[in-house]
Amino acid sequence: METVVVGVDNSDVSTRAVEFAVERAKHNNWKVVLVHVIPWTPYSFTTPSENEHRHRERQREIEAATEQILAPMSEIAEKGGVPHEELVHHGKPSETILDIAGDHGAIHIIVGRTGDSGLREAIFGSVASRLVQHAKVPVTVVP
Amino acid sequence: MNPVDWFNSASEWITTTVFYSVEIAGATLPLIVVWLVIAGAFFTVWLGFMQVRGPKLAIDLVRGKYSDPDDAGEVSHFQALATAVSGTVGLGNIAGVAIAISLGGPGATFWMILAGLLGMATKMAECMMGVKYRREHADGTVSGGPMYYLRDGLAERGMGGLGKVLAVFFAIFMIGGAVGGGNMFQSNQATAQIVAVTGGEGSFLADNSWIVGLVFAAAAGAVIIGGIKSIARVTEKIVPFMAVLYITACIIVLLANFTAIPEAIGNIFTGAFTPEGVVGGAIGALIVGFQRAAFSNEAGLGSASVAHSAVKTREPATEGFVAMLEPFIDTVVICTMTALTIIITGAYLNPDATELGGVALTSDAFETVLPWFPNVLALAVVLFAFSTMISWSYYGMKATGYLFGDNVVAENVFKVIFLIFTVIGSAAALGPVIDFSDSMIFLMSIPNLIGLYIMAKVVRSVITSYYDRVQSGEVKQVADHY
């Protein structure tokens, strides 16, 4: 069974991307891997007490993302009756999605056009455009 | 007796005890400085000159080349290093260096750099041990530092009693160091800067410097008592920016005088061995150089071990390598930049240098080329001072937590005392503040280094075994995924 990776966040466009992916997955017999990346960089500056609590904080971030973001998306896949897997990872969103797609031998990457942070994208470019530039497999950008 | 007088007389008593000195060639040599230098030299040889063999591995570790991708989101080597550096880089790099050169001449720079290079080995040892013996609590938080390796490391060697005693003394001295060098000295020098830019002696604040102290205490209190993270976060983000700005300004001053650079470097070398007009000659230059380097990079004191122990790693040795970069950044790079700037502009030749005190001297040096820079420097000093205060309040709190079993009341009492000393620091004269800060900070090195000597075999086996496994290819770099 071939695998497709879908990058998700808590935006409406992300919901449409998952619906689009699940629809195609039904016809093509794909497995859907739903990925949410929590933006994080190893090169940020932190305080000593933030560092002390970082491990617990990371755990909380993962739990929150699983419950609030991935759970509703996974429901769409469940209803569509396609095999699915959910992943939460910290990192730079575009790079992490590409890494995960590589690890899973994905044949296709599907994302929404805009993420949930409009201003940052206006300055640094969107995750979708980075994926389109760097991916080694076809990328579908859902409007 | 008012609190400032009381402090001054207490400081004098502590200082004479800690800085018990012997006379050598007319210069006074405090034995505590010898203690730190011997430790640096010992660990340099004992670990087989890791300062020379290890930097490439250290940089690769900071760049995440050995980090497990599944640990994304945990405290990275870079973050642990940056946090430790922001507690270390502070007034020692600006004011301390100026004091060293005004007392010991340009030659003090040479000894300062040497002390920085030796300090890399001590720092490596203490930070590795901090990670090796850290405590991971049930809720996922981490506590580490000399208290833990002294207690648990020595207990493993059947010296549990000694370990407990050393750990308690260390914790007490770290509280003193937090209040002194990590707080009073910072608040004192930052206040001096604010007074200077608001009009010097004529400034309203000159006679009411406690007001500045009060503002500092309020801001620090908002962070450490009020838990207002945003202030701390903003500081953490501005400080690296200010550090880059500071180094850039140094480079501009050096470039403006580039024809004088060879002579300045020449002065550093000749001054190191045959200084003119320095009390105690070469030994005098050596003593101030070593003393200021130790105060600035904190190697051997054990403080940074607390900050480094929060890193996520399975190999304690990795943080040892990363921590080694800290004295390099602090002393060999930043202190040397300040020193060159002061020497090249001749600011240290000012006959009133000793009275002017640390920051003012550095400020004068910048003013010769960048007339507007003293204002930026004042801002940099205030921010460096503030971030150092936040770091040290954390160290002091961890020490209090260790002594009183994480008792919340005790930690709050510490915080209040800390803030009271912030205000006293702003009002007291520079001399007694420097003496008290130095004494408390240097005292930490006594229990810390005794413990590290006893456990020297563990230090060496952990570090060399990791280094050998990297060299043999057994420990591999993580494939660059994407």
CATH number at residue B142: 1.20.1740.10
Supply the ipTM of this predicted assembly.
0.88
| Strands B27-30, B142-143: pairing kind | unpaired
Distance from CA of B356 to the nearest CA of A (A): 33
Does B183 map to a domain? yes
Would you state the pLDDT for residue B370? 87
Q: How many domains does chain A have?
A: 1
Neighbours of B351 (CB within 10 A): 7
Contact, B177 vs B303, CB < 8 A?
Answer: yes
Does B40 map to a domain? yes
Which of B72, B82, B87 has the CB atom closest to A90's CB atom?
B72
Would you state the pLDDT for residue B281? 76
Would you state the pLDDT for residue B1? 58
Could you tell me which residues of chain A have a Cβ less than 8 Å from any Cβ in chain B? 38, 40, 42-56, 58-59, 61-62, 89-91, 95-96, 98-99, 102, 134
Please tell me which residue, B234 or A95, carries the higher pLDDT value.
Answer: A95
Would you state the pLDDT for residue B400? 94
Q: B166 to each of B146, B155, B381, B409, how far by Cα in Å?
A: 9, 12, 34, 24
Distance from CA of B388 to the nearest CA of A (A): 11
Give per-residue pLDDT as tens, B80-139: 999 898 888 888 888 888 888 888 889 999 999 999 999 999 999 999 999 999 998 888
Does B210 map to a domain? yes
- Judged against a pLDDT cut of 60, whether residue B196 lies above it is answered with yes
| Strands A2-7, A30-39: pairing kind | parallel
How large is the average pLDDT for residues B189-205? Answer: 79
Would you state the pLDDT for residue B364? 85
Neighbours of B477 (CB within 10 A): 14
- Judged against a pLDDT cut of 80, whether residue B278 lies above it is answered with no
Would you state the pLDDT for residue B481? 56
Which of A53, A62, A90 has the CB atom closest to B141's CB atom?
A53
Which of B72, B306, B390 has the CB atom closest to A47's CB atom?
B390
CATH number at residue A95: 3.40.50.620
Give per-residue pLDDT as tens, A62-91: 999 999 999 999 999 999 999 999 999 999
- Nearest CA among B162, B167, B80 for reference residue B127: B80
The alpha carbon of residue A7 and the mean position of all alpha carbons in its chain are separated, in whole angstroms, by: 3
Give the gyration radius of chain B's Cα atoms. 21
Beta carbons of A48 and B306 less than 8 Å apart: yes
Please tell me which residue, B381 or B199, carries the higher pLDDT value.
Answer: B381
Compute, in degrees rounded to 10, the torsion defined by CA atoms B281, B284, B290, B294. Answer: -160
- Judged against a pLDDT cut of 80, whether residue B386 lies above it is answered with yes
Does B479 map to a domain? no
Which of A42, A47, A52 has the CB atom closest to B76's CB atom?
A42
DSSP B150: I
Query: Which of B246-255, B353-362, B420-429 bottoms out in mean pLDDT, i.e. has the lowest?
Result: B353-362
Please tell me which residue, B16 or B26, carries the higher pLDDT value.
Answer: B16
What is the residue type of B194? I
Average model confidence (pLDDT) across chain B: 87
Which of A55, A91, A99 has the CB atom closest to B142's CB atom?
A55
Beta carbons of B229 and A62 less than 8 Å apart: no
Which residues on chain A are in Cβ contact (under 8 Å) with B81? none
Beta carbons of B76 and A48 less than 8 Å apart: no
Q: What percent of chain B has pLDDT over 70?
A: 96
Please tell me which residue, A122 or B199, carries the higher pLDDT value.
Answer: B199
Does B481 map to a domain? no
Residue of chain B whose Cα is closest to the Cα of A62: B73
Q: B141 to each of A53, B46, B305, B309, B326, how far by Cα in Å?
A: 5, 33, 16, 11, 24
Q: Which residues pair with A139 in a beta bridge?
A: A109
Beta carbons of A45 and B236 less than 8 Å apart: yes
pLDDT class of B333 with cuts at 50, 70, 90: very high
Does B477 map to a domain? no
How large is the average pLDDT for residues B351-365? Answer: 75
Would you state the pLDDT for residue A79? 93
Does B461 map to a domain? yes
Contact, B181 vs B392, CB < 8 A?
Answer: yes
B112 lies in which domain range? 3-472
Compute, in degrees rounded to 10, the torsion defined by CA atoms B302, B305, B307, B313. Answer: 180
Would you state the pLDDT for residue A120? 59
Q: Encoding tokens for residue B97?
A: 């260096």
Contact, B457 vs B43, CB < 8 A?
Answer: no
Please tell me which residue, B384 or A121, carries the higher pLDDT value.
Answer: B384
A92 lies in which domain range? 2-142
Q: Sheet of A30-39: strands edge to edge?
A: A84-91, A30-39, A2-7, A108-112, A139-142
Pairs of residues, one from chain A and one from chain B, whose beta carbons lie less than 8 Å apart: 96
Distance from CA of B364 to the nearest CA of A (A): 31
Burial B367-391 (b: 16+ CB within 10 A, else e): bbbeeebbeebbbbbbbbbbbbbbb
Which residues on chain B are in Cβ contact (under 8 Å) with A51? 75, 79-80, 83, 142, 307, 310-311
**What count of Cα atoms within 13 Å lies in the side-chain half-sphere of residue B195?**
24
Question: What's the distance, Cα to Cα, between the start and end of chain A in Å?
Answer: 27
Which of A47, A61, A91 has the CB atom closest to B236's CB atom?
A47
Taking phi first (over 0 means left), then psi (-120 to 50 degrees means alpha), and beta for anything else, what does residue A139 get? beta
Beta carbons of B482 and A48 less than 8 Å apart: no
Note the pTM of the prediction, 2 decimals. 0.89
Which residues on chain B are in Cβ contact (under 8 Å) with A46? 75, 79, 82-83, 236
Distance CA B420, CA B7 (A): 12
Beta carbons of A90 and B73 less than 8 Å apart: yes
Which residues on chain B are in Cβ contact (under 8 Å) with A48? 83, 87, 306-307, 310, 390-391, 394-395
The alpha carbon of residue B381 and the mean position of all alpha carbons in its chain are separated, in whole angstroms, by: 15
Q: How many domains does chain B have?
A: 1
What is the residue type of A25? A
Q: What percent of chain B has pLDDT over 90?
A: 46
Please tell me which residue, B28 or B297, carries the higher pLDDT value.
Answer: B297
Distance from CA of B190 to the nearest CA of A (A): 21
Residue of chain A whose Cα is closest to the Cα of B64: A42
Residue of chain B whose Cα is closest to the Cα of A96: B482
**Per-10-residue mean pLDDT, chain A, length 143:** 91 91 94 94 87 90 94 93 94 92 94 68 73 91 90
Q: Which residues pair with A142 in a beta bridge?
A: A112
What value, to the nearest 5°, has the Cα angle with vertex B112 and ends B106 and B115? 155
